[in-house]
Amino acid sequence: MTTGGQGATAPWSGAFTRLWSGAVLSSFGDALRAAALPLVAVTLTDEPLLIASITACGYLPWIIFGLLGGAVADRVDQRRAMWTVDAVRALLVGAFAVAVALGHASIALLIALAFTLTALQTLFDNASTALLPAVVDRDALGSANARLMTGQRIAGGLLGGPVVPLLMAAGAAVPFAANVGTFLVAAALVASLPAAASDRKPRRAGSTLRREIADGLRTLWRDHALRGLCAATALCNVGMGAQLATLVVLVTGWLGAGPAGYAAAGTAVTVGSLAGGAVNGRLVARLGRMRAVLLAGSVQIAALVVMGTVRSMIVLVGALAVFGLMGMVWNVNTTTLMQERSPAELLGRVSSAFRTLSFAGVPLGALLGGAVATAWGLNTPPLLTAAFFVLAVIALIPTLKANVLVVEPNDGGTTARVPL
């Protein structure tokens, strides 16, 4: 079990502030790029499938490279991995900005950029998850994750998107040039973090990436709490695929609210997420982490049922705000439980195994959402999502047993008992 690296402190320490600033700045830049890419794409093609394929590339690399990214994150200096990835991403986005400015952008180039950036992100995100316990004390992990995710939601959800039209007015390449700047500053902030003494165990002689990936999967499987949480998250993400792929038709078609309504729906989720970051600590103090996750899933089921049955834009906005609030509670505590329950030398691999298995269902969910909307009505995808969340909550119930064993992957012995 990791208990925080030597010299780790509680938020807001200098090291955590730099890590937080870099992560939030990266989220802002990512939001600029994510909002600008579709706007560039629609100037190049009117084929929905081609435009959707750019978004699909945001998930495909996780399925292909996610496990490898986690294994590499456990082998290398995580700070160096993070700032190197950001520097490489800055070069790639900078080259793309030049192509856009010169009129050489194409759909193929957009797809290649989205795929490559996400492939690099598999290493960055796993290294970031594994690095945080070395920056803050274990007791502060929940608070640190809440502050980190809240900051990212503010930067990406509230600030990044609205800025893009202003930047695009100055030129289609400007949002991408701004993204280059955020990558470079974030890389400098992470590179400035002090080196912490590692509590990772040396790798076994003759160890291979394949064996190390298998160790991460085995550790995830043997920890009953993490295994149940991963299964529940995977089920939720099948439903989330349906929800994300069809929310625009729910708002503009079933409710007739138009683009302004769709923007309001996205803002409601973001505002709810910020509230979730604020209340998470009190929920955990009262219920414990796993029970807080169970509560979050249960409330989200009710919100989804309301979305699919009440034909009112005002009600939808309120339901999405509640959904976003509980989604933040789910995400913060999922990440914190992984960090608390995983051996330090395996955290990157456990994180990557969790993410890869969780993301695998999103494309399937998107297809299911489109199919049920076509067959049974534009309001049915939220009800489909609710059904998957019901299955997720059922999968969580066995994990509520107190003091679930945490098992090392190599010796089969118990290393700790962590209250849930």
Model confidence over 329-338: pLDDT tens digits? Answer: 999 999 889 8
* CATH hierarchy code of domain 214-418: 1.20.1250.20
User: What local confidence, expressed as pLDDT, does residue 49 receive?
Assistant: 59
Q: pLDDT digits over 353-393, tens only?
A: 888 888 888 878 877 888 888 889 889 999 999 999 999 99
- Helix, strand or coil, per DSSP, at residue 25: helix
CA distance 90 to 86: 6
CB 197 within 8 A of CB 5: yes
Closest by CA position to 360, among listed 190, 230, 257, 165: 230
Higher-confidence position of 96 and 119: 96
Mean pLDDT value of segment 299-327: 96
Q: What percent of the chain has pLDDT over 90?
A: 30
Residue 327 φ then ψ, to 5°: -65, -40
Rounded CA-CA distance 90/96 in Å is 10
How many Cβ atoms sit within 10 Å of the Cβ of residue 279? Answer: 15
266-287: average pLDDT: 90
What is the arithmetic mean of pLDDT over 108-113? 89
CA 351 to chain centre: 11
What pLDDT score was predicted for residue 279? 92
Q: Does the pLDDT of residue 301 top 80, yes or no?
A: yes
Look at residue 197 and tell me whether its pLDDT is greater than 50. no
Q: Give the residue-averaged pLDDT of 196-201.
A: 50
The whole-angstrom separation of Cα 206 and Cα 216 is 17
> Where are the chain's structural domains?
14-190, 214-418
Q: Say how many C-beta atoms besides its own lie within 10 A of residue 83's C-beta.
A: 24
Closest to 282 in 3D by CA, of 319, 338, 332, 317:
332
Q: Give the residue among 121, 129, 124, 100 at the shortest CA–CA distance from 58.
A: 121
Share of the chain above pLDDT 70, in %: 86
**382 neighbors 251 (Cβ within 8 angstroms):** no
Q: How many CB atoms are closer than 10 A to CB 159?
A: 16
- Angle at CA of residue 247, ends 246 and 250, nearest 5°: 90
The predicted model gives 267-274 an average pLDDT of: 89
Q: b/e per residue, 163-201, with b = 16+ CB within 10 A?
A: ebeebbeeebbbbbbbbbebbbbbbebbbebeebeebbe
pLDDT exceeds cutoff 60 at 402: no
| pLDDT exceeds cutoff 90 at 318 | yes
347 pLDDT band (50/70/90 cuts)? confident
Confidence band (pLDDT; 50, 70, 90) for 53? low
Q: Is the pLDDT of residue 411 over 60?
A: no
Give pLDDT tens digits for 215-240: 888 888 898 889 999 999 999 999 99
Cis peptide before 12 (omega within 30 of 0): yes
Cα gap 358→231, rounded to integer Å: 8
Kind and range of the H or E run holding 405: strand 404-407
List, as one string, the DSSP characters of 273-329. Answer: HHHHHHHHHHHHHHH-HHHHHHHHHHHHHHHHHHHHH---HHHHHHHHHHHHHHHHH
Q: Do domains 14-190 and 214-418 have the same CATH topology?
A: yes
Number of H helices, E strands in the chain: 16, 2
Least confident of 166-170, 293-297, 323-327: 166-170
**Residue 56: what pLDDT?**
64
Report helix angle 78-101 to 107-135, nearest 10. Answer: 160
The CA distance from 146 to 280, in Å, is 7
Cα angle for residues 326, 327, 331 (degrees, 5° grid): 120
CATH number of the domain located at residue range(s) 14-190 in this protein:
1.20.1250.20
Whether the pLDDT of residue 403 is over 70: the answer is no
Q: Is the pTM of this model over 0.75?
A: no
- Segment 336-341 shows an average pLDDT of 87
